[in-house]
Structure 1
């Protein structure tokens, strides 16, 4: 410790008070990091990403937030006697908020499935919501490919018909 800094603690009479004083003065806050991460969650939208890309970006940010915030811990042992499942309810609230954030950021192509998810009672888990959107995205891709295939076959059929009529 720098001598000038050490001199400012000369009159502290216990290690505990010294530690608390040091912690209060010099501990770095995670508030700017949490602000940045939560702003990223708020502003993240699917746009042109696949639902998988969007979900995994969102999940990465949520995991970082969880790492920084952690879960509150009971140190008084009252939670062992608690019958109201307070921690479980807290986790359920976090999960519900994640589902809502996920659905809010979906692009216009997924409006219908987003509305269907939000109408579900109870709200599905985050993994289930992701799965439902991913299935809807795959169904649209299959339908699009099928339409393109049918349109191509129709065009080839019309070209062949035209050749038959022209005497070729």
Structure 2
């Protein structure tokens, strides 16, 4: 191993150790300590994150990035015996995942209020991925509907020289006065 290519802090840790069995526990002890200030900051950002003007994709990606960063500082609990048995923490994990769905739904714009209500009433309760998929489909459906309405309103009949003529325009124009 070339110690010069590693950061000086890690290099000083490694230089006095003889084996990797000694290195990993020491590095873990030094660098994986919970950082309460960082956790507090991430919780603040998470609580203030909402869809705003972003699309569903961008909003969901932002939430996931924050949740992943939070998991780094606050990993899932483990048994005192040192092993991890998922069944031991099944209730905790289920509640944590449900809280993520709540946060995702609560941060959506009000235009998704009806869908939010429907998702909260679903049995069984949807996973985060299921909720995201349903909201994303609703957003896509709205965008298609909006595009169709725009195209239909762009096609209008105008009278030129006493004859009716179909004309496609990008701006809606009054057929009486000719003004936009």
1:134-153 alignment to 2 at 5 Å?
134-153=136-155
In structure 1, list runs of 5 or more residues that go unmatched: 1-22
The structural deviation recorded for 1:165 is 2.4
Q: How many equivalent pairs are there?
A: 135
Q: Say if 2:116 is the partner of 1:114.
A: yes
2:64 paired residue among 53, 59, 62: 59
1:117/1:164 CA distance change after superposition, 3 Å: farther
Partners of 1:129 and 1:29 in 2: how far apart? Answer: 31
Q: Say if 2:101 is the partner of 1:99.
A: yes
1:132/1:151 CA distance change after superposition, 3 Å: same
Partners of 2:71 and 2:106 in 1: how far apart? Answer: 20
1:131 paired residue among 133, 145, 160: 133
In structure 2, list runs of 5 or more residues that go unmatched: 1-28, 166-180
Partners of 1:121 and 1:151 in 2: how far apart? Answer: 41
- 1:43 alignment partner in structure 2: 48
The structural deviation recorded for 1:62 is 0.3
Partners of 2:70 and 2:101 in 1: how far apart? Answer: 16
Partners of 1:167 and 1:71 in 2: how far apart? Answer: 70
Partners of 1:120 and 1:46 in 2: how far apart? Answer: 22
- 2:162 alignment partner in structure 1: 165
TM-score by length of 2: 0.68
The answer to which structure has the higher strand fraction is 2
TM-score by length of 1: 0.72
Partners of 1:167 and 1:101 in 2: how far apart? Answer: 55
Q: Give deviations 1:60-109, integer Å, cap 9, x for gaps.
A: 000001111011111327976x9xx3312211111000000000000122
Partners of 2:48 and 2:37 in 1: how far apart? Answer: 16
The answer to which structure has the higher helix fraction is 1
